[in-house]
Structure 1
Amino acid sequence: MADQATRATRPFRFGVVTPISSGLPAWQDRVRRIADSGYSTLLMPDVPTWQPALGPTLATAAALTDLRIGSWVYAAALREPWSTAWEAHSLAVLTEGRFEMGIGAGRPGIEVELGLPAVSPAERRTRMRETVAALRTFDGPDLHTPVVMAVSGPKSQALALEVADAVTFVLPPDDDRIETTNRVRDFAGRRDIELAQHIAAVGDRLAPFMAPPDLDTAALRAAAAEEIERRREEIGFSYFVIGADFADTLAPVVAKLAGQ
Structure 2
Amino acid sequence: MSKDFRFGIVAGFAPDAAAWTATARRAENLGYSTLLVPDTLGTLPPLLAMTAAATATTTLRVGTFVLAAPYRNPRLLAYELAGLDFLSGGRLEVGVGAGRPAAEQDARALGMPYGTAGERIAQVRSVIGEVRTAFAEGGLSVRRQGPPILVAGSGPRMLALAAEEADIVALAVPAVASEEGLRGPVGTLRDLAGARFDDIELSLNLFQVGDVPAPWLPEGSPTIPDDAAAVLRGSPREMAGTLLRRRDELGISYVTVNGFYADTFAPVVELLTGR
TM-score by length of 1: 0.89
CA drift of 1:27 comes to 2.4
- Counterpart CA distance in 2 for 1:60 and 1:106 is 24
What is the alpha-carbon root mean square deviation over aligned residues? Answer: 2.0
Instruction: Quote the residue 1:69 is aligned against.
Output: 62
3-state secondary structure, aligned to 1:22: coil
Deviations 1:1-59 (A, max 9, x none): xxxxxxx21000001012123332222222211111110001101012x2332111101
Q: 2:204 aligns with which of 188, 193, 197?
A: 197
Gap regions ≥5 residues in structure 2: 138-143
Instruction: Quote the residue 2:140 is aligned against.
Output: none
Q: 2:17 aligns with which of 24, 42, 48?
A: 24
Query: Is residue 206 of structure 1 aligned with residue 214 of structure 2?
Result: yes
| Preserved CA contact (<8 Å) 2:20 2:53 | no
Gap regions ≥5 residues in structure 1: 1-7
Q: 1:120 aligns with which of 98, 116, 119?
A: 116
TM-score by length of 2: 0.84
Identity of aligned residues (%): 34
Q: 2:266 aligns with which of 251, 255, 259?
A: 251
Q: How does 1:175-186 map to 2 (within 5 A)?
A: 175-186=177-188
| Preserved CA contact (<8 Å) 2:150 2:168 | yes
- Counterpart CA distance in 2 for 1:207 and 1:134 is 37
Instruction: Quote the residue 1:94 is aligned against.
Output: 87
Deviations 1:157-177 (A, max 9, x none): 111111111101111212212
- Counterpart CA distance in 2 for 1:17 and 1:207 is 14
| Preserved CA contact (<8 Å) 1:41 1:69 | yes
Letter in 2 for 1:240: V
| Preserved CA contact (<8 Å) 2:186 2:250 | yes
* 35-44 vs 104-113, greater mean Cα deviation: 104-113
CA drift of 1:212 comes to 8.4
Misfit runs of 4+, over 6 Å: none
Larger RCO (CA under 8 A, 6+ residues apart): 1
CA drift of 1:215 comes to 4.2
| Preserved CA contact (<8 Å) 1:200 1:207 | no
